[in-house]
Structure 1
């Protein structure tokens, strides 16, 4: 299949929204938000669903958060002196150590799907931000043709499902979380929605 043919595959509006939210989480988890991103978050609206309410809460917190405070919070959570409060890596959550088997398995699956690490990124590929971005890219076809629901489910179930909900729960309750506590809630609820949706698809 050529690239032009791949681009012609229709991605449903629902899947584009899923991809947008994965991208959004990836953006917020990859670096501290600047004022522009905080303004975008504060402008979000939600409905009465659990996810909608989590988005509304995130918007309220973003509205009173300054970039300097967001950066201090991000650094305390993910960087710290030596290490941050949380280690947002699949290997750590699944084995207790960094750069373990889950990372090697992810790299194999990335190669099989034509996914490469950006040249300016030095974090291990199994960090939560990168995995959110990979899911978004698979859904909309950033790495070739859009991934089938079965392929999305296989990737999610192997690399995200076993630990991401736990991570987002930890982010909700982290000592240094304020803005990121609300991001944690939205991420946890979204992961629960994805888990249920994948559960309802055929294997």
Structure 2
């Protein structure tokens, strides 16, 4: 997916939000390569529930190897006919793939001037692609960088289903490395919902 780069001064808390979206996007789209796995192994956390989940991911990364992670990612997200979870908005909202939620995502992306990357097989309602868009919106690389734009995309395309997906990832039978990924996603999205829910009340700030 490509978008015209925008210039934006990003507050520290927004940079952190963008980092979480980028992390979750990359891990749901593909298993981490060895260099990325080493970086993840440095993760530590505080005493909060999210901090403990980050620490658990760091521990899982230190114990994992790339071959096993490739197998785990395939089992959890892909499978032979389908994975243990199906990371698409259409599936969670309608029970089928390539349905109205996908068409709605494509309409939104077209309005934002975002083009599909050539060579990417996943439909645009894949959670990893939606999180790439949130990353771009936060950094001002997509759209106008406003909190209103972020909230609109989140409320329309992410919030109705993605937290349930990450809860399912936590419970997926093959998830070992991906279990704390599921926890991080679930907790982060709950924080996002609360924070973005105040946008209409507080304005852009």
TM tier relative to shorter chain: over 0.9
Q: Give 1:201 shift.
A: 2.0
Aligned to 1:142: 141
Q: Which consecutive unaligned segments of at least 5 residues does structure 2 have?
A: none
| Whole-Å separation in 2 of the counterparts to 1:91 and 1:151 | 22
SS in structure 1 of the partner of residue 200 of structure 2? coil
Aligned to 2:117: 118
Give CA deviations for 1:81-124 in whole Å, capped at 9, x if unaligned.
12111110000000000011111111011011111211121111
Is 2:172 aligned against 1:174?
Answer: yes
TM-score by length of 1: 0.93
Following superposition of structure 1 onto structure 2, how do residues 86-125 of structure 1 map, counting pairs within 5 Å?
A: 86-125=85-124
Q: Report how many aligned residue pairs link the two structures.
A: 198
SS in structure 2 of the partner of residue 175 of structure 1? coil
Q: Which consecutive unaligned segments of at least 5 residues does structure 1 have?
A: none
Aligned to 1:29: 28
Following superposition of structure 1 onto structure 2, how do residues 1-203 of structure 1 map, counting pairs within 5 Å?
A: 6-7=6-7, 9-143=8-142, 145-146=144-145, 148-202=146-200
Q: Give 1:142 shift.
A: 1.9
Contact (CA 8 Å) 2:143, 2:149: kept in 1 or not? Answer: no
Contact (CA 8 Å) 2:56, 2:180: kept in 1 or not? Answer: yes
Q: Give 1:144 shift.
A: 5.0
| Whole-Å separation in 1 of the counterparts to 2:124 and 2:158 | 12
Q: Give 1:167 shift.
A: 0.1
| Whole-Å separation in 2 of the counterparts to 1:175 and 1:120 | 30
| Whole-Å separation in 1 of the counterparts to 2:172 and 2:30 | 17
| Whole-Å separation in 2 of the counterparts to 1:144 and 1:88 | 25
TM-score by length of 2: 0.92
| Whole-Å separation in 1 of the counterparts to 2:139 and 2:129 | 16
| Whole-Å separation in 2 of the counterparts to 1:50 and 1:24 | 18
Give CA deviations for 1:47-76 in whole Å, capped at 9, x if unaligned.
222211110111111110111110110011
| Whole-Å separation in 1 of the counterparts to 2:70 and 2:64 | 10
User: What value does the CA root-mean-square deviation take over the aligned residues?
Assistant: 1.4
Q: Which runs of 4+ in 1 moved over 6 A?
A: none
| Whole-Å separation in 2 of the counterparts to 1:72 and 1:66 | 10
SS in structure 2 of the partner of residue 33 of structure 1? coil
Contact (CA 8 Å) 2:166, 2:186: kept in 1 or not? Answer: yes
